[in-house]
Amino acid sequence: MRRVLIAGNWKMNMLSADGTALAAAVAAGSGPQPSCDLLICPPATLLHAVLDTVGKTALPDRPVSVGGQDCHADASGAHTGDIAAEMLADLGCSHVIVGHSERRAGHGERDAEVRAKAEAAHRAGLVAIVCVGETEAERDAGQAHTVAAGQIEGSLPEGATATNTVVAYEPVWAIGTGKSATPDDVAGMHRHIRGLLPEADAMRILYGGSVKPGNAAELLALEDVDGALIGGASLKAEDFLAIAATAA
Ligand code: 13P
């Protein structure tokens, strides 16, 4: 019932030549009968080129969606350097990541702002990928479930549905560290999160944090894991597609 979503978050990586080559390789290699949805989220500078590349390379029955990594809550205005959800939609993006822990930590984003950004995504017709996850200190203090619950409650807007929202559980200590959460921990957390969601049976919950071709199969096999949000391994088409293949 919940179709698997394999999403690549390129973060602040790739210049135009490498980025378009990566997008072309992902689009060309996405398999004859895709059993999952594929999404790539390049940096804003490459959205136009990546959308163009994917449009030219992907076959109609093997679409690859393109999303932004962040958006501003307002539709327009005096916000130097920011990008409105409407601008992403205007380019042809279908998704936007909001509340990534790197933005929560590096830009001081709090739940209320993340919620406003998710609302902006919905207003613009985009699917919001709302990220939550505890730090190592919070985990060590036994607060992982409480922290995730607080972030879900604070970051998910009123109008969130299974169609316009995806939740990504990304424990901060597992991001870029090579230290993925154990399948038991992920299973428990995803079950906990599902119990807090609107349209809980249908809303997709992705796991993120050091997902690689070698550990993807056991994580994606878990009942409440509906896909992955992948950082480092999404920068190599081979690895990204190998992860997607484990979802088959
Ligand atoms: P890594 O896959 O590099 O751990 O990054 C995960 C992530 O932050 C995706 O948004």
Tell me how crowded residue 131 is: count the other CB atoms within 10 A of its CB. 27
181 touches 237 (CB < 8 A) = no
CATH number of the CATH domain containing 39: 3.20.20.70
CA of 77 to the centre of ligand 1 (A): 31
Indicate which atom in ligand 1 lies nearest the CA of residue 212: 2
Could you read off the pLDDT of 168-209 as tens digits, one per residue? 999 999 999 998 889 999 999 999 999 999 999 999 999 999
Q: From CA 228, how far away is CA 248, in angstroms rounded?
A: 13
C-alpha span between 157 and 115 (Å, rounded): 6
**Catalytic option among 72, 86, 95, 100:** 100
CA nearest to 100, candidates 92, 91, 109: 109
Q: Is residue 231 part of a domain?
A: yes
8 and 41 Cβ atoms separated by less than 8 Å: yes
pLDDT in tens, 139-163: 999 999 999 999 999 999 999 999 9
Tell me whether residue 245 is in a domain. Answer: no
Pocket probe for ligand 1: among 5, 10, 11, 12, the residue whose CB has the most ligand atoms within 8 Å is 11
Whether 238 sits among the annotated catalytic residues: the reply is no
The answer to whether residue 102 is domain-embedded is yes
- CA-CA distance, 55 to 68, in Å (whole number)? 16
- The whole-number pLDDT of residue 34 equals 66
Mutation test residue for ligand 1: of 211, 220, 235, 236, the one with most atoms within 8 Å of CB: 211
Instruction: Report which protein residue has its CA nearest ligand 1's atom 1.
Output: 231
Centre a 10 Å sphere on the Cβ of residue 182 and count the other Cβ atoms it contains: 12
**pLDDT score recorded for residue 33:** 62
For ligand 1, mutation pick of 170, 179, 180, 219 (most atoms within 8 Å of CB): 170
d(CA 217, CA 205): 16
Q: Is the Cβ–Cβ distance between 39 and 23 less than 8 Å?
A: no
- How many domains does one find in the chain? 1
Q: What is the 166 CA–ligand 1 centroid distance (Å)? A: 16
Q: Is 247 within the bounds of a domain? A: no
Among residues 95, 113, 170, 190, the one annotated as catalytic is: 170
pTM over 0.75: yes
Q: Which atom of ligand 1 is nearest to the CA of 208?
A: 6
Burial (CB count <10 Å: 0-12, 13-18, 19+), residue 48: middle
**Residue 246, in any domain of the structure:** no
Least confident of 29-33, 67-71, 164-168, 175-179: 29-33
Domain of 50 in residue numbering reads as: 5-236
Q: Quick check: is 170 catalytic?
A: yes
